[in-house]
Amino acid sequence: MGIGMFLSILTMLSAALVEMKRLEIARELNLLHEKVEIPMSVLWQILQYCLAGASEAFTVIGKVEFFYTEAPDAMRCLCTAFSLLTTSLGGYLSSFLLALVSYYTSRGGEPGWIPDNLNEGHLDWFFLLIAGLSAVNLVVFVWCALRYTNRTTL
């Protein structure tokens, strides 16, 4: 699971770098206030999607295995369902975080980090925020994992 969490940090850093490059191209072409597509290949996103897929694979498989092996026999099905529940709750938390960032960064007439016209925003800062939160999550995970005692050793 830790490998997956580390890869999620790299995913967000990669996404931030691609967005910085996209904004640089928009600036060079003087398109920051235009709502037009930036002439940039979609292939720039290959790395971040590969990292996201690998991150998801490591994290989800590890999480399901943990819930299944550490749960009492009578609760394995329920604990595996909790694994999926945590994924759905993460989706809701992600939406809530996006709404918070949009609200607080767009006050005072500013376009904010995530406006309708992404050329005027700072989606790269949002990706860096997510990378930072993921790093905090990884540190907390490692701290908990080092103190965890397996069920089989009790």
Q: Is the pTM of this model over 0.75?
A: yes
Distance CA 128, CA 144 (A): 24
pLDDT digits (tens, 9 = 90+) for 76-90: 888 888 888 988 999
> pLDDT tens, 117-126?
888 899 999 9
Residue among 11, 27, 21 nearest 135 (CA) = 11
Which residue type, as a one-letter code, is found at position 97? L
Residue 154 per-residue DSSP state: -
Q: Is the pLDDT of residue 74 over 90?
A: no
Q: Is residue 43 within 8 Å of residue 21, measured between CB atoms?
A: no
* pLDDT band (50, 70, 90) for residue 154: very low
Task: Identify how many contiguous H helices and E strands the chain contains and give both numbers.
Answer: 4, 0
Q: What is the pLDDT of residue 39?
A: 85
Residues whose CB is less than 8 angstroms from the CB of residue 114 and which lie 6 or more positions away in sequence, other chains included = 98, 101, 102, 105, 121, 123, 126
What distances in angstroms separate CA 13 from CA 8, 68, 113, one per listed residue? Answer: 9, 32, 16
Across the range 28-41, mean pLDDT stands at: 85
